[in-house]
């Protein structure tokens, strides 16, 4: 009898641990997405007011964030920080993640903002959950669950309402913006799925650091000959620093750390908090009115997070 009681207690403890890890993963992904939303607005100011080139900003943010993360990784893990490069398979996978994942996400998103605006770029980028759920279903040869379908629909509807204020016809933008935005959605899917085994083997800190350095070095070497350092004001340099630290270093680490606790599909859905943050910033800082559509969009995004948090792990 006592053995059965012990088994029941152990099962309850495991269930509580799984629930805690799920909430932790959702919280990390949500916080990272909020910081992304704020930094996207900061990047748009740099593009429009200071005429900063997207490739230059991507190179700066990735190299600086990569160096800082690698320094922290070396301090914490010592020579283990270089472990991803010791085996050919993990080395190739790390390089591909840095180029197609981290660099892909950042450059395509910023290029979409530069060609259009942050709102439209965000809507197009949040086609990523559909790509991820479709990939997962195709790989497992199973149809998406009812919860996944509902959450995808809610996330996309919430994003659309938040960034358009209910006026769909205002999404008329350049073809370049649409193309870069859709490529950004594919890049987010790669970024969410591809590094999972790397993170499990080496941890999010070293993988994020090396991915940033690989991607930043690639875009920097490709653009250095024709992209000189821009002449910026002190305020503009503060925005650049904000984009590097709070829009790159911290949120990318948080998002990758969340993949230890939740699936890539759930993480990408929770990351719908990005347009929520952008809307909140517009209301509180830019004093834009909060319409019924924006409120409804916030409700859809928050409901997505709630459904995922209550779902069985």
Give the predicted TM-score (pTM) of the model: 0.76
Rounded Cα distance between 12 and 17, Å, is 9
| Mean pLDDT lowest among 195-209, 258-272, 275-289 | 275-289
Percent of the chain with pLDDT over 90: 25
Confidence of residue 311 (pLDDT cuts 50, 70, 90): low
Rounded Cα distance between 85 and 95, Å, is 9
The answer to whether the beta carbons of residues 295 and 269 sit under 8 Å apart is no
Rounded Cα distance between 70 and 62, Å, is 12
What's the chain's Rg over C-alpha atoms? 20
Burial group, residue 36, by CB count within 10 angstroms (0-12, 13-18, 19+): buried
Nearest to 97 by CA among 226, 242, 204: 204
**Greater confidence, 156 or 69?**
69
Please state the length of the chain. Answer: 313
According to the model, what pLDDT value does residue 124 have?
77
**What is the overall mean pLDDT for the chain?**
81
The predicted-structure confidence for 117-156, as pLDDT tens digits, reads as follows 776 777 778 777 777 777 878 888 888 788 878 887 887 8
Q: Which of 4-8, 65-69, 95-99, 183-187 holds the top average pLDDT?
A: 95-99
**Greater confidence, 140 or 106?**
106
- 17 pLDDT higher than 50: yes
Burial group, residue 234, by CB count within 10 angstroms (0-12, 13-18, 19+): exposed
Confidence of residue 296 (pLDDT cuts 50, 70, 90): confident
- 313 pLDDT higher than 50: no
């Amino acid at each position: 009898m006592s053995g059965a009681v012990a088994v029941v207690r152990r099962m309850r403890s495991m269930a509580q641990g799984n629930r805690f890890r799920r909430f932790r993963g959702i919280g990390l992904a949500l916080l990272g997405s909020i910081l992304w939303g704020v930094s996207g607005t900061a990047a748009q100011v740099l593009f429009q007011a200071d005429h900063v080139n997207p490739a230059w900003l991507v190179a700066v943010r990735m190299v600086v964030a990569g160096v800082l993360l690698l320094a922290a990784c070396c301090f914490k893990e010592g020579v283990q920080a270089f472990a991803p490069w010791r085996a050919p398979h993990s080395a190739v996978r790390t390089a591909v993640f840095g180029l197609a994942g981290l660099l892909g996400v950042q450059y395509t998103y910023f290029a979409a903002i530069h060609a259009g605006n942050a709102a439209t770029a965000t809507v197009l980028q949040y086609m990523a959950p559909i790509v991820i759920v479709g990939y997962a279903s195709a790989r497992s040869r199973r149809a998406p669950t009812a919860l996944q379908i509902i959450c995808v629909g809610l996330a996309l509807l919430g994003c659309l309402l938040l960034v358009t204020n209910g006026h769909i016809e205002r999404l008329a933008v350049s073809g370049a913006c649409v193309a870069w935005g859709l490529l950004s959605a594919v890049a987010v899917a790669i970024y969410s799925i591809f590094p999972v085994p790397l993170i499990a083997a080496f941890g999010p800190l070293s993988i994020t650091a090396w991915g940033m350095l690989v991607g930043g070095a690639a875009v920097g070497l490709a653009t250095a000959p024709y992209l000189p350092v821009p002449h910026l004001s002190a305020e503009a340099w503060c925005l650049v620093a904000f984009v590097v630290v709070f829009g790159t270093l911290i949120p990318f680490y948080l998002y990758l750390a969340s993949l230890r606790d939740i699936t890539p599909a759930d993480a990408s859905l929770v990351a719908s908090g990005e347009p929520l943050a952008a809307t909140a910033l517009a209301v509180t800082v830019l004093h834009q009115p909060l319409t019924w559509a924006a409120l409804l969009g916030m409700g859809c995004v928050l409901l997505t997070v709630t459904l995922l948090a209550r779902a069985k792990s």
